[in-house]
Amino acid sequence: MNQLVQYYLDAIKNHYFDFNGRARRSAYWFFVLSNIIVSIAISIVDAIIFVNIIGFALLGLLYNLAIILPSLGLAVRRLHDIGKSGWWVLITLIPIVGIIWFIILAATDSERGENQYGANPKGE
């Protein structure tokens, strides 16, 4: 649980608009998991309060706007870790197949040693 919060806060506090360098698999997937948990909690609050009052999910909208840059930055750094350009994140625009391919890329192990995007975050 501690790592879950640590990686989530690290992506938001320290790497909010950071598209350079590399990110480990654990950093990416812990952020994704914690983002899902926070999104579910916000959706519940939205369903109880805002959807009934103003007709749309205000908190969800605000949260998604706030989290888009750290999410993109972390995805780009994750792709850098496997030696791919950050532009590969655009593959998610292809319905179904693109998202599956991105999940495979995000689950791929790091390139050993240093690559063109920096030193291996694992310290190898």
Q: Which residues contact 122 (CB under 8 A, 6 or more apart)?
A: 24, 110
Asked if pLDDT for residue 116 goes beyond 70, the answer is: yes
Partnered with residue 115 across adjacent β-strands are 118
Q: What is the pTM of this model?
A: 0.89
Question: If you average pLDDT over residues 78-98, what whole number do you get?
Answer: 96
Q: How far apart are CA 96 and CA 7, in angstroms?
A: 27
Work out the number of other CB atoms within 10 angstroms of the CB of residue 30. 19
Asked if pLDDT for residue 86 goes beyond 90, the answer is: yes
Q: How far apart are CA 124 and CA 117, in angstroms?
A: 15
Asked if pLDDT for residue 50 goes beyond 80, the answer is: no
Domain boundaries, the chain: 2-107
Q: What is the pLDDT, as a whole number, of residue 122?
A: 82
Q: What is the pLDDT, as a whole number, of residue 117?
A: 93
